[in-house]
Amino acid sequence: MDFFTRTLITLILFITTMGLGACDNNSGKASNTASPENSAASPAAAENAAEVITITKAHIRATAPGQKVSGAFMTLVNTSSIPYALTSVSFNAAGMVELHETSMSGKMMQMRRISQIDIPASGSVELKPGSYHVMLMGLDKGLTAGTTETLTLTFSDNSQKTVEASVGDLSE
């Protein structure tokens, strides 16, 4: 789904949600008073991405001596009927962390920074070498296979989730 389509769907859902919330069920006119029917928050409104997105297979590639760059990979599973996006990741041992996408441009592999990684409603996205991934740059320590590191993921609704990622060998 391209950016325009995602934006249009999001806008339609937003307008629909706002319009339904502003109308009184009996008259169809705007109402400032709460009634028992509309005063309870819906489950969708109460959830946030950090609660409904599960992370599996989180791992970071180990570094060679002196190497200051690595990649983090994982699978993000959205159990909600609402689409979300991963908008940033933080890692205390990195000077800079960016979301990246690797793709083919002609006969060349090209890696580029992206602003977010979409996680479809009731779907998943895999961050893996040669595709979406998290770049950890300016590392202030080496990453040793067999250890565990902590990443903090931030989603499009500004909710955050901390994940423990195992450090795999250089080939992962």
How many structural domains comprise the chain? 2
For residue range 5-21, list pLDDT tens digits in order.
443 344 343 333 333 33
99 and 62: one domain?
yes
61 and 24: one domain?
no
31 and 96: one domain?
no
- Residue 135's pLDDT is 98
Range of the domain at 30: 3-40
CATH number at residue 98: 2.60.40.1890
List all residues 6 or more positions away from 164 whose beta carbon is below 8 Å from its beta carbon: 58, 148, 149, 150
Q: What is the DSSP string of 39-62?
A: HSPPHHHH--HHHHEEEEEEEEE-
For residue range 37-49, list pLDDT tens digits in order.
333 444 445 589 9
81 and 33: one domain?
no
Choose the weakest-confidence range: 9-23, 67-81, 97-111: 9-23
Structure tokens at 55: 């992370």
Nearest to residue 155, comparing CAs of 52, 23, 25, 60? 52
143 and 95: one domain?
yes
Distance CA 112, CA 5 (A): 22
36 and 53: one domain?
no
Question: What predicted TM-score, i.e. pTM, was given to this entire model?
Answer: 0.72
